[in-house]
A and B are shown apart, each in its own frame.
Chain A
């Protein structure tokens, strides 16, 4: 895998997937038993962490109460023996980017929480490393500060143009921050691509379910006469996808669609399925229907449990047309936005 100069790459996946290990290999904290790591063309595989010209960004920086903001940002350079005027230059540059210029001679006490957080960021920036490594940097911030800092980091990275590898378990962080996203599961890279690529064309069932919130509705259905059979109903499938199914798929197909890619249909629509409404939400701009797909109860139609909405199917609709709880409604899926996967390999078919 190659990360381009100046790129913001996000490694995302559930805990234990190996994303932090990957980052720590880059940092030189974990030994690499196969393969090599090159930074700017230089092989650093066996190099000590401090010689790699990388910066691990804010583990947990505490601010020093007696030092000015400028000294708080620049002290590590002083230790490294950087000349005074060079330190001042870099600190001033960082302060400008971080909007801290007027506070440079103040002590942390006089700053707000958000400003203090930015001073901590300044400490990493002034080092001007080749690569920033960030391992869940927002995990120990409260909710308010987290959203604010997320935007700041993304903006900063674009301004600085420093290649950045960012690890998170949170797909929203990944989608909003990264130039590209690498999805990892159980140590295996699932897909790498721009946020919209992963969202619009997930390569497999895992990526489909992991990326997007609310998450994609994903269910397995029998294929009868080239159509997906959903309870009493059928919906049409593109022939080229159905043709790719093999004997291992046992005549079934995984159908996925995002909540915004389906809509209410008339009761006689031949290409729609039935949904029993369990809950509705009116958010003013959007309405959400949560329900159970009416099936014939056969095991073949088991839900794959990928969604985070308690296995309920989620549909986004016009909030002025919300059905009532307990109603059975017809739902049709936008055929161009349907995601089809082979049950045996979980790979994309269309």
Chain B
């Protein structure tokens, strides 16, 4: 792959090959991007669907055609997916490349091949990825009381993800809510790619590839929302088709902001700054700008050539070491600004003020997250929600409310909504298993060989 970004080209030693080209390993083989020694102690000789309960983490899963489980491995939780070897290797390879390109995807951990059961019968390969902490499949977000615009906010996050992937040359081939995980990001969501089975990394995408991805995304999203609606999980006022169309609009508007050529008169140079500011507001920064004069010399043509995401999050990371989502970063930076103003330190270096803000504002607040919620809410999201809650309390009371009081009220009144109750969790897991096509353990005794129609098909 000589034309690929060298970071992507050298991302992995795994090279997916067709069956028959390279033989299935005779003995267990783990190619891992982690040196977690606990990996070797797992029951690889058992079908994933039969792994013992005590190894599994009870986290919500999205719908999939394949058997997927969350597994405790030492201190970490890994997502395991049982698929054929070529598909597992291909997906691992692609995810490694996407990760090297700093794209929002799950982190691939390993491909496990050469699995055999105790009778020596071959088992499918397993792709291992790291569970994205605090993330939720869309189905779990619809399991509790929701703001009516949740579906719309998920779509906005998906549009950003698609644009970022397309800018890098990644054709997805199967865009859907199911193939994405969502992280709360202040008042919005961030979307992460979790399923790259059908994807492909190119130098640049053709319009046909982008349009196909968009069209498929629209169809899949509407289908997924119609499904939620059939299960009475979608607020009644939500129009599925309108939300599907929103993706197409959002995508196109973002794409054109990031890639269109602007044309200015030479005395309108300030418009360049305006364009750059608009990109920053959308969370992108311009890494390379192309400026050309028209042939008659009367116009200036400006086009961003290389844009990167994470404008605010990079800034916050540099100032505080906090690695958070883009909107959270923007919120935290605003609070940092407010802190700087309220302490009359506008003349001081922002780096120094940021250190004090961390020590005096951020850390004391997030230390108050009750232990049982520490796996459910990200510290930056907690901080953001406390700020919102304090504002809400202050408005109600007609005066400022101290931070401690806001935290106590938030923990008592708002935070419990974060928990998914057992019944909802069971329903989510049952939904996830309902569409698995290639594992007999998930659909009981009615295995393929007993399929009454199998005989019809075998002639």
Contacts and interface: CB of A to CB of B under 8 A. Distances in A.
Same assembly = yes
Interface of A: 14-15, 27-31, 48-50, 59-67, 71, 75-76, 78-79, 99, 107-109, 111-117, 120, 139-145, 148, 151-152, 155, 169-170, 308
A63 B435 CA distance: 5
Given A29-B206, A139-B84, A142-B124, A50 B215 contact: yes
A307 B216 CA distance: 41
Interface string B1-32: 00000000000000001111100000000000
A161 to B, nearest CB: 18
Contact of A59 (B174, B209, B448, B457): B174
Contacts, number: 164
B388 interface: no
B244 A109 contact: no
A271 to B, nearest CB: 34
12 contacts: A27-B212, A29-B171, A29-B209, A48-B211, A49-B215, A59-B173, A60-B174, A60-B195, A140-B197, A142-B438, A148-B457, A170-B19
A67 B63 contact: no
- Bin chain B's interface residue count: 35 or more
A302 to B, nearest CB: 22
B63 A62 contact: yes
A117 B198 CA distance: 17
A15 B18 contact: yes
Given A115-B451, A140-B87, A65 B434 contact: yes
Interface in B181-230: 195, 197-198, 206-209, 211-212, 215-216, 218-219, 222-224, 226-228, 230
Nearest to A113: B437
B335 interface: no
B73 interface: no
A112 B63 contact: no
Contacts of A14: 18, 21
A15 B18 CA distance: 7
Given A49-B211, A49-B212, A113-B440, A75 B86 contact: no
B322 to A, nearest CB: 36
Contact of B453 (A30, A59, A115, A144): A115
B20 A170 contact: yes
A129 B437 CA distance: 25
A112 B226 contact: no
10 closest pairs, A vs B, by CB?
A: A66-B231, A63-B435, A64-B227, A65-B434, A169-B18, A66-B230, A65-B431, A109-B434, A28-B208, A49-B212
A61 B65 contact: yes
A114 B447 CA distance: 8
Given A79-B222, A139-B86, A139-B87, A50 B212 contact: yes
The listed residue with most B CB atoms (<10 A of its CB), out of A66, A67, A107, is A66
Contacts of B212: 27-29, 49-50
B85 to A, nearest CB: 10
B453 A64 contact: no
Contact of A113 (B83, B219, B448, B453): B448
Contacts of A79: 218-219, 222-223, 241, 244
Given A30-B206, A75-B226, A148 B454 contact: yes
Given A60-B197, A60-B198, A141-B84, A49 B208 contact: yes
B175 to A, nearest CB: 10
A59 B443 CA distance: 22
A113 B457 contact: no
Contacts of A30: 206, 208-209
B439 interface: yes
A332 B222 CA distance: 65
Indicate the member of B228, B431, B435, B437 with the most A CB atoms within 10 Å.
B437
B66 to A, nearest CB: 7
A15 B21 contact: yes
A64 B173 CA distance: 19
B446 interface: yes
Nearest to A52: B208
A194 to B, nearest CB: 21
Nearest to B214: A50
Contacts of B223: 64, 75-76, 79
Contact of A141 (B431, B437, B457): B437
Contact of B430 (A48, A49, A109, A151): A109
A113 B454 contact: no
B458 interface: yes
Nearest to A152: B457
Given A28-B208, A30-B208, A65-B430, A114 B435 contact: no
Contacts of B197: 60, 140
B313 interface: no
B176 interface: yes
Contacts of A308: 20
Nearest to B215: A50
Interface string B237-252: 0000100100000000
Contacts of A143: 122
B436 interface: yes
Nearest to A63: B435
B238 to A, nearest CB: 15
B269 interface: no
Contact of B448 (A48, A144, A169): A144
